[in-house]
Structure 1
Amino acid sequence: MQLARGFDAFKQNLGRNLPASFVVFLVALPLCMGISIASGVPPEKGLITGIVGGILVGLIAGAPLQVSGPAAGLAVIVFEFVRTHGFEALGPVLVLAGILQLVAGGLRIGNWFRAISPAVVHGMLAGIGVLIVLGQIHVLTDAVPLPSGLDNLMAIPVAVFEAFSGGNRLSAVMVGLATIAAMLAWERFRPTRLKLLPGALIAVLAGTLLASLGGLDVKRIEVPEAILSTLALPSSEAWGRLAEPAILVMALTIAAVASAESLLSAAAVDRMHDGPRTRYDRELGAQGVGNLVCGLIGGLPMTGVIVRSSANVQAGAVSRASTVLHGIWILAFLVALPWVLTMVPTAALAGILVVTGWRLVGPSHAFHLHRRYGWVTVGIWFVTLVTVVATDLLTGVLTGFGLSLLQSLPALRRGRLRIEEVEAPKQEGVPELRLSGGATFLQLPGLTEALERTPEGGEVRLATRGLSAIDHTCLEVISDWANRRAASGTRIAVVGGSGAPHDRLAAVVASPAH
């Protein structure tokens, strides 16, 4: 009976999910290939991850409208790992990372990943964006990126000089710049009737046409004749390396970063639609299954991806069927049209990633953090960014986390957050959450659960008489919750307090988060 109802719902929503899935496929295709190139591996590896993320993870995900696949946020660390240890060693790493995510989901700690400070997350993504731009500038000249961000930065003047000295490298630069210009122009001026046609696809087509019609001698994507024949289990030698400390650290890093990025993306997607809410522990487990399978068949690490997910929602998707169908389109493309990939210049994909990387930097995030939470929070964002670029991703995140902990020490000294769920006095049927003590990211899971238990519609009161401190992570979560509740017709009232914590909480509830 349940299967029959599911099939009926699939047929009923097919008119919206089918076109949405094709739009997501068009967005995902160039990004999957580009992220593979940025990771230092063949483009089909990213497409394989897109298939697994679409079909398998899409079927079991806890965030039905989120789209999973290879992510720019992991490209830099994968590039360095593959350069040092070889691609074959990545398979066991992903299997172990997937198992860690499955265990985390089973232990119901999905909400803990949301406790990472927004300043650290945005700083991490900004640092990754800088590294992507620095590396892809070299690919724009048909050169090979160097191992570190600082090396790439120092080598840019030489790369530019060699490119403009003439020859094939100048042709590659022309293709890359044309791709960037086409993407930005399409997104700004595209006709309304073609608004769902993604700029990334138009840009890659523009770069490919320029290279083909102009007869330019530039590097193009190389693919094997039978792409799916490249699927293979890791060798026994690769499995034997799981005991190496560097391999274990890489698995833990991928599991932590991929989980945080996926769950933060899922929270952002929830703000874009009125459909089913994310089940965070189930989504964490689904991501674990996806990474485990990608490790077994030779794919890249995956996360939930905000660019593809937002395209999915904006194109009108209403259920997980759109995500699954987009994975089927990628698989059909690989089987029927792999020769099309060999026409695409690598400089065109680099152009797409330069734009993507710059958007990850997102200076607007710094302004948002300053406007709502002050200069100290912006400082955590900036230090995390610089540390990621100057050292590595894990060091940057740990540095940002340590600074966030220091920022929260005053609140921690004022006692643990206590939450009472009662009925508002003299207002029958009106729920009230009484907050007292210091609210920090360490108490975020309990706060999140209490907020989500409140009913939709009517009025909900947040009483702050005993609230002595609140950090920006808790403020961000309450702001997101208040925005979603307001969209469903709920009135949020902040009552009973005074002073800085009360005023800060009242301000974020009264104004939108972004």
Structure 2
Amino acid sequence: MSVLRNDVPASLVVFLVAVPLSLGIAVASGAPIAAGLVAAVIGGVVAGAMGGSVVQVSGPAAGLALVVAELVHKFGWRVTCMITLLAGLLQLLLGLARVARAALGVSPAVVHGMLAGVGIVIALSQVHIVLGGKPQSSAVDNVLALPAQIVNHHGHAVLIGLLTVGVLLVWRRLPKVRVVPAPLAALLIAAVPAALLGCLTKVDLSGGFSSLQHPLLPQGEWFAVVSAVLLVALLAGVESLLTCVASDRMHSGPRANLDRELTAQGVANVISGACGGLPVAGVVVRTTTNVRAGARSRWSTVLHGVWILVFVTAFGWLIGLIPMEALAALLMFIGVQMVNLGHARNLRNHREMPIYFVTMAGVVVIGLAEGVAIGLGLAAMFALLRLTRVSVRARAADDGRWRIAVDGSLTFLAVPRLTKALAAVPSGAAVDLDLNIDFMDNAAFEALQAWRLEHERGGGTVDVDEVHSEWYVNAVSGTRTSQGKTHMRHDQWWLPWAHRRGSLDAASPSGAWQEPAHTDHADVSDRSDVPVGADARTAALGVAPVAGDAQADDDPALPGLMEGTREFQRRTAPLMRPLLHGMARRQAPTHLFIACADSRVVPNLITSSGPGDLFTTRNIGNLVPHATSAPPDESVTAAIEYAVGVLEVRTITVCGHSGCGAMAALLGTTPDLPGLRGWLRHGRPSLDRFRSFEESEGPLPDGGRLDLLCRINVMQQLDNLRTHPLVDDRVRSGRLELTGLYFDIGTARVHVLDEDGFVPVLERTATG
């Protein structure tokens, strides 16, 4: 039913569009008129049935008209058919080798520029026919001869041409007649005055398909023939595959299989060349028409080819009524449309407009193959420049310390800029060198290493911090590095500020890792959360804490905060901006996460979550006041109500942690701070529950009492959550789940609460 309801009507619409376009492309190619119709039939039936896209329509393509015209002029039509056949064999082999996606590596700027250039050449040649004259041998000659053509040639041909173009321009603006495609309507309307005048050139389709000639092997010039085969195969294949990719954006059906599509295009071109037809390729205009007409399957494409075959066989004589001047006007109109400025505007955002216009100019002035080659070369040069682009910034801080930031790919091309920035650093200065690079060649390394050695001999210091893989470190140590560019590594974003600024001396001139100069090893051995005997590289990465805990005495908090903000803006914000842009209007978290305000507990870190995942509330002791507590606590209650009632979260998690200061205060003496003392009254139910446990199980060692209270506190807060009616109703109905977590800071291990108590997450995963 779907075929009858959707595909049959769509096939008729595509058929009406394909017939005039196929005739026009045959004329522009210098081929027999029937050759365009043969290619349309084979493209529809063969490529449609075998292709990798369910909606793509194949047939003679305007983008190949210029190539075919040159081949016909150089080799004759029968050899051109053999070139089409051989190009199809090549496409077939490439499709079977599954290399279709390699065609997508061609810059779209080159493809669009090529099509625009072909469109200009077609338009310039056909405008002479519209004016009653004959086209010249090249686009440049057509431009030079155009003034004389305009002055000297006026008459009925101009009238028919202008009438055809006028219909093409206004037809789509007439809503009641849109069912008839504009190209068909233009040719039919133009045929009326042509028949009345009786003096215009008509399309010659005498003999129909029987008039076609079979392919002929060339006599000599094999190098030129092989080049032509490669050109036709690649241009037709790339155009087909790009159209295939574009067709996936037009419908919601099955996605295209590019290798299958390329194989089908090869088979179609083999058959078309053998039958005396034009080269076949996927065509954007017909594919777009097919989708807009409501096609759902490949039956629409196949049937449109069948309709063309039936029409030419039964009603081919009607084609003889079409005036050549009308076809020329149609081709001129199509050629102008191929210069799509919308593509140029899209390319402008990626700074690829020069590639587009240079390719277009090369095709028009020199030739198709030469223009494409120039465009590909320019695209490769632009890509090389982008890959080797580097930014070097040097500035001095208020304390006299210099910061040099290098971003991009550090190659020999960047050495002059790098050495200029390094030369601005005064002798003896302390330098922070941030290498935000994804590649470093030997020339850049030698320049950087020579400057560092010289600077340190002069009494200066250089702290190197690499954001990407350690190109500089590996070069110093002689470690073999990857040949390719590397992705940004994220192994330092979680480090405290004091461990990131100045603590990573990436590599000494001798190649050995250096521990931070301000690290106090006595403090390290006294800390339970840092393994004793950690290797030098681990210490250099910042695991070993600085003296005085998380913040150095000479490093105030505010500069650390601002430096961290600047680091976010420079490194992280560009990566997150597309994601956050989509979240800017609303949030939709699935979890309410209630955690302690302890600075060592980072909810997004221990849950590997990102923006938009957790709705978080934090307080001293991760407490959830009882719903009936007096006076009530509106802060936590408001967060719960908003998360459950408005955001409709599915899970509420209470996360406690080891060494909680609030729980230690409950076990000992609460500090004489009125606000804190008032808040900790909400923790007394946890303390009472803990004491009941001790009375039944016996006293615990001092080291275990705090840990147990921290865990019991999580259980108590889950019970307190059920005292809130909104939460309790959702839990009873199965729309909300309560979860307890416990984070052991010293071992960096997360435990989850189940029926047997707290179980480490890794053990739970391994066993369950």
- TM-score, with normalisation over the residues of structure 2? 0.52
Q: Give the aligned partner of residue 17 of structure 2.
A: 27
Aligned mates of 1:286, 1:498 — CA distance in 2: 49
In structure 2, relative to structure 1, the CA distance for the partners of 1:319 and 1:230 (3 Å cut) is same
Amino acid corresponding to residue 68 of structure 1 in structure 2: S
1:411, CA displacement in angstroms? 4.6
The one of 350, 371, 380 equivalent to 2:355 is 380
1:98, CA displacement in angstroms? 0.5
| Superposition pairs of residues 140-159 of structure 1, within 5 angstroms | 140-159=130-149
Q: Give the aligned partner of residue 480 of structure 1.
A: none
1:62 partner SS:
coil
In structure 2, relative to structure 1, the CA distance for the partners of 1:409 and 1:334 (3 Å cut) is same
Aligned mates of 2:226, 2:568 — CA distance in 1: 48
In structure 2, relative to structure 1, the CA distance for the partners of 1:500 and 1:295 (3 Å cut) is farther
Aligned mates of 1:79, 1:500 — CA distance in 2: 53
2:40 aligned with 1:50, yes or no? yes
Q: Give the aligned partner of residue 183 of structure 2.
A: 200
1:241 partner SS:
coil
Q: Give the aligned partner of residue 394 of structure 1.
A: 369
Amino acid corresponding to residue 214 of structure 2 in structure 1: L
2:246 aligned with 1:268, yes or no? yes
Q: Give the aligned partner of residue 345 of structure 2.
A: 367
The one of 152, 157, 162 equivalent to 1:172 is 157
Check whether the contact 1:242–1:248 (CA below 8 A) recurs between aligned residues.
Answer: no
2:40 partner SS:
helix
Aligned mates of 2:122, 2:245 — CA distance in 1: 25
Aligned mates of 2:310, 2:231 — CA distance in 1: 33
1:159 partner SS:
helix
| Superposition pairs of residues 203-222 of structure 1, within 5 angstroms | 203-213=186-196, 215-222=197-204
Aligned mates of 1:242, 1:292 — CA distance in 2: 22
* Identical pairs, percent: 39
1:42, CA displacement in angstroms? 2.3
Does 274-283 or 241-250 show the bigger shift?
A: 241-250
Check whether the contact 1:466–1:497 (CA below 8 A) recurs between aligned residues.
Answer: no
Kindly provide the CA deviation profile for residues 321-357 of structure 1, in whole angstroms up to 9, marking residues without a partner as x.
Answer: 0001000000001110111011100111111111111
Check whether the contact 2:78–2:213 (CA below 8 A) recurs between aligned residues.
Answer: no
Aligned mates of 1:64, 1:392 — CA distance in 2: 34
In structure 2, relative to structure 1, the CA distance for the partners of 1:94 and 1:504 (3 Å cut) is farther
2:219 partner SS:
helix
2:205 aligned with 1:223, yes or no? yes
The one of 306, 325, 333 equivalent to 1:355 is 333
Kindly provide the CA deviation profile for residues 44-102 of structure 1, in whole angstroms up to 9, marking residues without a partner as x.
Answer: 11001000001111110111100000010011121122112211111110111111111
Amino acid corresponding to residue 329 of structure 1 in structure 2: W
Kindly provide the CA deviation profile for residues 163-193 of structure 1, in whole angstroms up to 9, marking residues without a partner as x.
Answer: 12xxxxx2111101100100110012332xx
2:59 partner SS:
strand
The one of 257, 260, 283 equivalent to 1:282 is 260
| Superposition pairs of residues 25-174 of structure 1, within 5 angstroms | 25-164=15-154, 170-174=155-159
2:384 aligned with 1:409, yes or no? yes
In structure 2, relative to structure 1, the CA distance for the partners of 1:379 and 1:61 (3 Å cut) is same
In structure 2, relative to structure 1, the CA distance for the partners of 1:240 and 1:201 (3 Å cut) is closer
| Superposition pairs of residues 240-389 of structure 1, within 5 angstroms | 240-241=218-219, 244-370=222-348, 372-374=349-351, 377-389=352-364
Check whether the contact 1:142–1:346 (CA below 8 A) recurs between aligned residues.
Answer: no
In structure 2, relative to structure 1, the CA distance for the partners of 1:150 and 1:142 (3 Å cut) is same
Amino acid corresponding to residue 185 of structure 1 in structure 2: V
Amino acid corresponding to residue 165 of structure 2 in structure 1: I
Q: Give the aligned partner of residue 455 of structure 1.
A: none
In structure 2, relative to structure 1, the CA distance for the partners of 1:207 and 1:466 (3 Å cut) is farther
Report how many aligned residue pairs link the two structures.
415
1:406, CA displacement in angstroms? 0.9
1:392, CA displacement in angstroms? 1.0
Higher relative contact order (CA 8 A, sep 6+): 1
Check whether the contact 1:120–1:381 (CA below 8 A) recurs between aligned residues.
Answer: yes
2:255 partner SS:
coil
Check whether the contact 1:119–1:380 (CA below 8 A) recurs between aligned residues.
Answer: yes
Aligned mates of 1:76, 1:172 — CA distance in 2: 24
Check whether the contact 1:48–1:299 (CA below 8 A) recurs between aligned residues.
Answer: yes
Between Structure 1 and Structure 2, which shows a larger proportion of helix residues? 1
Could you list the runs of 5+ residues in structure 1 that have no partner in the other structure? 1-10, 165-169, 416-435, 439-462, 468-495
Check whether the contact 1:92–1:242 (CA below 8 A) recurs between aligned residues.
Answer: no
1:304, CA displacement in angstroms? 0.2
In structure 2, relative to structure 1, the CA distance for the partners of 1:229 and 1:127 (3 Å cut) is same
Q: Give the aligned partner of residue 8 of structure 1.
A: none
Check whether the contact 1:130–1:361 (CA below 8 A) recurs between aligned residues.
Answer: yes
1:116, CA displacement in angstroms? 1.0
Check whether the contact 1:55–1:324 (CA below 8 A) recurs between aligned residues.
Answer: yes
Q: Give the aligned partner of residue 720 of structure 2.
A: none
In structure 2, relative to structure 1, the CA distance for the partners of 1:289 and 1:504 (3 Å cut) is farther
Could you list the runs of 5+ residues in structure 2 that have no partner in the other structure? 389-407, 410-436, 440-485, 491-566, 583-768
Check whether the contact 2:94–2:262 (CA below 8 A) recurs between aligned residues.
Answer: yes
Considering only aligned residues, what root-mean-square deviation do their CA atoms show, in Å? Answer: 2.6
Kindly provide the CA deviation profile for residues 241-300 of structure 1, in whole angstroms up to 9, marking residues without a partner as x.
Answer: 376211111111111110111111111111111011110011011111111111111000
Aligned mates of 2:269, 2:580 — CA distance in 1: 37
2:165 aligned with 1:183, yes or no? no
In structure 2, relative to structure 1, the CA distance for the partners of 1:510 and 1:304 (3 Å cut) is farther
Amino acid corresponding to residue 217 of structure 1 in structure 2: C
Larger radius of gyration: 2
1:216, CA displacement in angstroms? 4.3
Check whether the contact 1:69–1:305 (CA below 8 A) recurs between aligned residues.
Answer: yes
Kindly provide the CA deviation profile for residues 391-432 of structure 1, in whole angstroms up to 9, marking residues without a partner as x.
Answer: 1111111111111111111454567xxxxxxxxxxxxxxxxx
Aligned mates of 2:187, 2:252 — CA distance in 1: 33
Aligned mates of 2:316, 2:371 — CA distance in 1: 39
1:159, CA displacement in angstroms? 1.8
Does 354-363 or 153-162 show the bigger shift?
A: 153-162
Aligned mates of 1:126, 1:299 — CA distance in 2: 24
Amino acid corresponding to residue 233 of structure 1 in structure 2: H
In structure 2, relative to structure 1, the CA distance for the partners of 1:206 and 1:119 (3 Å cut) is same
Check whether the contact 1:464–1:502 (CA below 8 A) recurs between aligned residues.
Answer: no
In structure 2, relative to structure 1, the CA distance for the partners of 1:261 and 1:173 (3 Å cut) is same
Amino acid corresponding to residue 227 of structure 1 in structure 2: G
Aligned mates of 2:234, 2:99 — CA distance in 1: 12
1:239 partner SS:
coil
Aligned mates of 1:408, 1:506 — CA distance in 2: 24
Amino acid corresponding to residue 373 of structure 1 in structure 2: H
In structure 2, relative to structure 1, the CA distance for the partners of 1:244 and 1:217 (3 Å cut) is same
Aligned mates of 2:98, 2:143 — CA distance in 1: 42
Amino acid corresponding to residue 196 of structure 1 in structure 2: V
